[in-house]
Amino acid sequence: MERKHFINQIITIGTLTFFCSLALTPATKATYELPPPQTIDMSLEQTIFRRMSIRKFNNETITDEQLATILWNAAGYRQDGNRTIADINGTYASVIYVLKEDAAYTYNPVNHSLQFYKPGDWRDTVGYQYPGAPLVLGLCYNTTLTNPNNAAAEIGEICQNIAFTVDALNLGTVVIGGFPPAIDKMGIPEDQTGLIIMLLGHLLHPYNFKYRLLWFSLLPKVIETQMNLTTALQQRTQTTNFQGTITRQELSQLIWSSYGFSYYLDKSNQDLNQVKRHRTVPSAQAYYPLEIYAVTASGVYKYQPNLLTMFGNYSADFIGLPVVTYLQKIRNGDNRASLAAASSLPSISSVPLSIITVLNWNKTKNTGEQYLQFWYFEAGAAAQNIMLEAAALGFKSNIVLPTDNTTLSSLLKLTDGYTPLLIVPVGT
Ligand SMILES: Cc1cc2nc3c(=O)[nH]c(=O)nc-3n(C[C@H](O)[C@H](O)[C@H](O)COP(=O)(O)O)c2cc1C
């Protein structure tokens, strides 16, 4: 009797141990430590030239080292306590879900780890547009912390960091938006909302870029700084106190980074991507409805990223056209005080350059208010590019909100149908 009881006990303990060990395999434990991020040694401008959407992947997995680098670059904390993205209006509200084969996790930027969220493989459920990606990210935000537009801009910053890191790692990604948010199929807490999904994987059709700089402009060409992506993320500096001057070369480079066209032609023949000369940011439906303005001590300017695409009434280049780009002066003199008075940061009255993203509703092709967050996403993406390029050129920057659109619209000579979204001041 005693002996039978003892054997039963051994069997029970053994069974419990077996199931506990299954539940606590490294992949599904509550906190999943990530290795330190790796340095990305590609120059910032190269990573911008190479940005493009990839929608087809092979079945190779993404390593923990790659994932750790992508997530830290996305929104991690640096050693100086700042993050790789700027806050908007003093707030960070984003939540990044990481959907792996075994379970869904959230990225904890404070200790650079993954927190277990839910068991199961949600990758194809959430990434249903293009199933088969080895890793899926869900970009969401906490609705109690900020408003939908500021959240979208923050997610735009994050997705640029991810896109640059991914192309430098020779991996691919695509930004996906949709209604209702695809992450809803998995379920997230009630105080969060989904906005964007990013698929990550190895390319089925490898990158194949040809340097085809056909650039017709009085604007100086983009130069490749010696700063790599990791250093730019480390050195991006926000300030509220600006001074200094800006050269035409620097102005040209900063404004190009916001919304310009690549020096590369894409020869990779992706069957799910017809764009031939990609732009520095992605755009929902490739509509590119933003107009970029610059305010300096000498005037107010409007940026033309490429006149030739406008002729065909396309905003994306599906042919591989030359780039005919320029700045059009729309107002003379120093108007920085008016800009500052219409913004959330009056001290930008002394900044040498402010770049303003303005939504042209006409270019949104009747997608209406529903798409507004996507355009704020795009403005946030453009802002992140400017802030990284500012770091590479030795400048500080910030993201500032318009507070008086009537004054701002009159300054920029905007008619009805235009809404200023974000202001990015750049100076020393
Ligand atoms: C907010 C947003 C939503 C997007 N949604 C989708 C989508 O649902 N499906 C898709 O295939 N691509 C989507 N894209 C990617 C765009 O189609 C892509 O950026 C555009 O066609 C330009 O191509 P490129 O990124 O390769 O230069 C989205 C991009 C943005 C910025």
Nearest CA to ligand 1 atom 20: 286
Does 11 have pLDDT greater than 60?
Answer: no
Tokens of 322: 């030359």
Query: Rounded distance, CA 402 to CA 5, Å?
Result: 76
Omega before 322 within 30 of 0, i.e. cis: no
Pairing of strands 215-216, 323-324: parallel
Closest of 317, 425, 414, 316 to residue 358, by C-alpha: 414
pLDDT at 19 over 70: no
All structural domains of the chain, each given as residue ranges with its CATH number in brackets, are 31-202 (3.40.109.10), 209-427 (3.40.109.10)
pLDDT for position 1: 39
Residue 370 Cα to ligand 1 midpoint, Å, equals 16
Ligand 1 lined by 53 (C-beta under 6 Å) = yes
Does ligand 1 have an atom closer than 6 angstroms to the CB of 382?
no
Residue 208: pLDDT band (50, 70, 90) is very high
CA of 177 to the centre of ligand 1 (A): 8
- Mutating to test ligand 1, I would choose from 285, 318, 421 the residue with most ligand atoms within 8 A of its C-beta, which is 285
CA-angle at 152, arms to 362 and 93, nearest 5°: 160
Residue 126 structure tokens: 């959430």
Residue 52 Cβ inside 6 Å of ligand 1? The answer reads yes
What is residue 39's predicted lDDT score, i.e. its pLDDT?
98
For the stretch 363-374, pLDDT in tens is: 999 999 999 999
pLDDT digits (tens, 9 = 90+) for 40-94: 999 999 999 999 999 999 999 999 999 999 999 999 999 999 999 999 999 999 9
Q: What is the mean pLDDT of residues 269-284?
A: 96
Question: For residue 371, what pLDDT is reported?
Answer: 98
CA–chain centroid gap for 69, Å, is 15
Residue 414: HSE in the Cβ half-sphere, 13 Å Cα cutoff: 25
The pLDDT, as a whole number, for residue 121 is: 98
Judge contact between 378 and 364, C-beta under 8 A. Answer: no
* Distance, CA of 97 to CA of 89 (rounded, Å): 23
Q: Does ligand 1 have an atom closer than 6 angstroms to the CB of 275?
A: yes
Residue 313's pLDDT band (boundaries 50, 70, 90)?
A: confident
Query: Please, what's the b/e burial string for 14-30 (b: 16 or more CB within 10 A of its CB; e: otherwise)?
Result: eeeeeeeeeeeeeeeee
pLDDT band at 22 (very low <50, low <70, confident <90, very high): very low
Return the residue whose CA atom lies nearest to atom 30 of ligand 1: 284
Flag the least confident range among 20-24, 114-118, 170-174, 262-266: 20-24
Per-residue pLDDT for 15 more than 70? no
pLDDT of residue 314: 84
| Cross-strand partners of 88 | 91
Lowest mean pLDDT across 5-9, 141-145, 252-256, 336-340: 5-9
- In SS3 terms, the chain reads as CHHHHHHHHHHHHHHHHHHHHHHCCHHHCCEEECCCCCCCCCEHHHHHHCCCCCCCECCCCCCHHHHHHHHHHHHCECCCCCECCCCECCECCEEEEEECCCEEEEEECCCCEEEEEEECCCHHHHCCCCCCCCEEEEEEEECCCCCHHHHHHHHHHHHHHHHHHHHHCCEEEEEEECCCCHHHHCCCCCCEEEEEEEEEEEECCCCCEEECCCEECCCCCCCCCCCEHHHHHHHCCECCCCCCCCCHHHHHHHHHHHHCECCEEECCCCCCCCCCECECCCCHHHCCCEEEEEEECCEEEEEECCHHHHHCCCCCECCCCCEECEEEEEEECCCHHHHHHCECCHHHHHCCEEEEEEEEHHHHCCCCHHHHHHHHHHHHHHHHHHHHHHHHCCCEECCECECCHHHHHHHCCCCCCEEEEEEEEEEC
- Of all residues in the chain, what percent carry a pLDDT higher than 70? 93
Residue 7 scores a pLDDT above 80: no
* Mean local confidence (pLDDT), 2-20: 49
The pLDDT value given to residue 17: 42
pLDDT of residue 311: 78
- Mean pLDDT value across the chain: 94
Torsion angle defined by CA atoms of residues 167, 168, 170 and 173, in that order, rounded to the nearest 10 degrees: -20
State pLDDT tens for residues 283-307. Answer: 999 999 999 999 999 999 999 999 9
pLDDT in tens, 83-128: 999 999 999 999 999 999 999 999 999 999 999 999 999 999 999 9
